[in-house]
Amino acid sequence: MGYKLWTTNELLTSADLNAYLMKQTIIVCTSSTRPASPTEGMVIYETDTDALMIYNGSWLPLLDSMTQSYAPVFSASTSGGAVGNGTLTGRYGRVGGWTQFQINFTIGSTTTGGTGRWQFTLPTGPTLEGVAAAVCEDTSASQRFGGSAWFTGSGIFSVAVGAGGNIGVASGTPFTWATGDKLMICGRYY
């Protein structure tokens, strides 16, 4: 369907409305009420997923927004580690080959850190490269420690803090982890 310019005093017919205008505006719908016969280039906004989508033969996110949730898995690199009654959540979004992600880990009274650097699974496996930042928050001391995260294997990020990211985040590092303390990681990979 092409683009149409109307001339002065030309009437807008229902056929024009359905053929031209409907396919040249952003349609507000839900993921289950998308247009039945979309055309390439059609853009919609899904109210249930808060996603702006474009159709190119299939529906794809138009913007790099983290609209999908996932359940990251926590472990320690040497052994053990359990979330217990803490909370561990993840969100991500994909555009082209890039994945943007966010992991939030809040320590609970029964969380155990295991031995070795803490690591977390990603929503999809990286293929080439990635970068991530991390913040460790000691809520009782109102202190934050910045760090970095890197791939340790297929789909796993490990976290470090300190100068040059040389101190692995683990039980007792960079502080004694207690109930309510937080680790936040956000990054992007290809």
pTM: 0.67
For the chain, the domains span 14-61, 68-189
Q: Given this model, what pLDDT does residue 188 score?
A: 81
Tell me what the mean pLDDT of segment 3-30 comes to: 75
- Portion of the chain with pLDDT greater than 70, in percent: 83
DSSP notation for 22-53: GGGSPEEE-TTS--SS--TT-EEEETTTTEEE
pLDDT band at 21 (very low <50, low <70, confident <90, very high): low
Res. 33: pLDDT tops 90: yes
pLDDT band at 182 (very low <50, low <70, confident <90, very high): very high
What whole-number distance in Å separates Cα of residue 184 and Cα of residue 146? 10
Q: CATH classification of 68-189, choosing from 1.10.287, 2.40.440, 1.10.620, 2.60.90?
A: 2.60.90
